[in-house]
Structure 1
């Protein structure tokens, strides 16, 4: 397929072994012109792998490594955009892997429709996994959208049906036109957690009625749970799950809808606990119905303590 250049942007920090494995898969991609831009933020500890990374960039003109001190996720995204040349920007995290050699192509072909502004792909925990959710229709309905009143995000990005008109571009395995990033103004670097959702909220305000975002199950990404500091949300303790919801409320929703959060704060707390409960009931890693119901019961009983603990962590971290 001939088409516009795709820039694959990778943010990486202190994960050189996993980054090198990711690059092996990216540089094997077929069917579309692409480049890979790595915003590398590791220290100087692993000199051997760092030299291997820089040597690979010297040998392969498709790979560009930009070394920077540690920076917030949104700042790293913007830095990657500045150093890229493609018309299509495709993001993947260093603890993830593309499945197959046409992963980039699966994103790029969606942009043959000029009304398509961005694409979020499907992710899996195991290659070839079946349907992971308890309710297929609920998963499809809530796939990559915000709740209508409170504007809290739903993911369900492991479901397997295409969906046009989603509202959220994921943080990884997500692509967007460069012109859209320029229209919206990039990612707000003051937002530390959930920067992709803040970007999506502004994109929804800026897009035209005929334009749309797409969820496509074709570009599949493997999320690795054994990477230090990587995605382990599905195995997080209850207190940590509640804290992450609170952190998102204070650091993203409150930024874009401050008065809504102030007026409806008790409703937000109830909604956050409900969201965690639904995640637990849908969690394919909690084997057995009894385990899921037991986790939900613990959540309900101890939710006041979890919320107080979350507030304490936010205050301790100078959160709002």
Structure 2
């Protein structure tokens, strides 16, 4: 039995799964198995995976979403520790070695996570490398209920015993947010440790329309957190909704600059949903219906008009 099970969910990832697998095979830690869950792909993913032969174990299922795919991979694996990597992400060579060492040395630690470098879909480093939650090595349950704790699964290695106790990933969160809820449940079962090195290259996709499509899943997350943690999650829910407002405003601003006013309006309608008593939210929304004011033609003695 391998020490670490590497779980890779993939949906229509024929163009990216090769990079993810190459980064796994390049690990300095050798005691691992690889389980790839083909979650109903309709592209050439199946044939690409077939080319790896017995280097990987492939689980094929109808499309059910990331949490169900990860859970299928967990059930098909046997390692004491479980690590996750998405098909469009990459690990640096010491990812498994560094994370497994923390769990080996600290039997009370349930989950370890590494630092990540944001890259675009072409693998180029993103200019914005701001991160969340990097100021605390091991969050308490109270801290995680004060504000969302966001660590993507590609950065995580967890004990199988913790997965079994917390029930894995919430499959109702098929579109998004399953990782946030998983971290809360996992923290109930054991504390976390952080490996400070940047050991993951995390692919970052454009926010629009991805973030807007996830709004329904975000509301489901709020309901699940409220049902499970009650009033102790007031801070989490307040800060989570605040973060959604920030994302929607940012997308709307970028879309307006691109002249995509109808798309910006969709984002601003969500801001009104979160802030129904804010006059500014309504003004922003109404502004999307008016034509952009063009600068006036100026003489040599006048300053150019500032566009709205």
TM-score range, shorter chain: 0.5 to 0.7
Partners of 2:137 and 2:194 within 8 A in 1: no
Structure 2 vs 1, CA of residues 37 and 139 (structure 1 numbering), >3 Å: closer, same or farther?
closer
Partners of 1:119 and 1:214 within 8 A in 2: yes
Map 1:154-303; keep pairs closer than 5 Å.
154-155=149-150, 170-192=152-174, 193-207=176-190, 212-218=191-197, 220-225=199-204, 232=205, 235-237=206-208, 241=211, 244=214, 247-248=217-218, 250-258=219-227, 271-272=239-240, 274-276=242-244
TM-score of the superposition, structure 1-length normalised? 0.65
Aligned match for 1:82, one of 72, 75, 84: 75
Q: CA deviation at 1:44?
A: 4.7
Structure 2 vs 1, CA of residues 120 and 245 (structure 1 numbering), >3 Å: closer, same or farther?
farther
Structure 2 vs 1, CA of residues 9 and 309 (structure 1 numbering), >3 Å: closer, same or farther?
same
SS at match of 1:153: coil
Structure 2 vs 1, CA of residues 151 and 245 (structure 1 numbering), >3 Å: closer, same or farther?
farther
Map 1:53-64; keep pairs closer than 5 Å.
53-58=49-54, 60=55, 63-64=56-57
Q: CA deviation at 1:177?
A: 0.3
Q: Distance in 2 between matches of 1:268 and 1:219?
A: 27
Q: CA deviation at 1:154?
A: 3.8
Q: Distance in 1 between matches of 2:16 and 2:85?
A: 13
Partners of 1:93 and 1:172 within 8 A in 2: yes
Partners of 1:146 and 1:152 within 8 A in 2: no
Q: Distance in 2 between matches of 1:21 and 1:89?
A: 20
Partners of 1:254 and 1:261 within 8 A in 2: no
1:39 matched to which residue of 2? 37
Q: Distance in 2 between matches of 1:34 and 1:102?
A: 13
1:307 matched to which residue of 2? 271
Unaligned runs of at least 5 residues, structure 2: 258-264, 276-308
Structure 2 vs 1, CA of residues 71 and 145 (structure 1 numbering), >3 Å: closer, same or farther?
farther
- Encode CA deviations 1:180-203: one digit per residue, 9 max, x unaligned: 111222223223321122222223
Aligned match for 2:98, one of 106, 110, 117: 106
Q: Distance in 2 between matches of 1:174 and 1:104?
A: 10
2:282 matched to which residue of 1? none
Structure 2 vs 1, CA of residues 26 and 255 (structure 1 numbering), >3 Å: closer, same or farther?
same
SS at match of 2:16: helix
- Encode CA deviations 1:195-231: one digit per residue, 9 max, x unaligned: 1222222233334xxxx21122235111224xxxxxx
Q: Distance in 2 between matches of 1:144 and 1:246?
A: 28
SS at match of 1:253: helix
Q: Distance in 2 between matches of 1:52 and 1:272?
A: 39
Q: Distance in 1 between matches of 2:182 and 2:97?
A: 24
1:133 matched to which residue of 2? 130
SS at match of 2:168: coil
Q: Distance in 1 between matches of 2:4 and 2:228?
A: 39
Q: Distance in 2 between matches of 1:215 and 1:279?
A: 26
Structure 2 vs 1, CA of residues 195 and 302 (structure 1 numbering), >3 Å: closer, same or farther?
closer
Q: CA-atom RMSD, angstroms? A: 4.3
2:12 matched to which residue of 1? 14
In terms of Rg, which structure is larger?
A: 2
2:290 matched to which residue of 1? none
1:50 aligns with 2:46: yes
TM-score of the superposition, structure 2-length normalised? 0.67
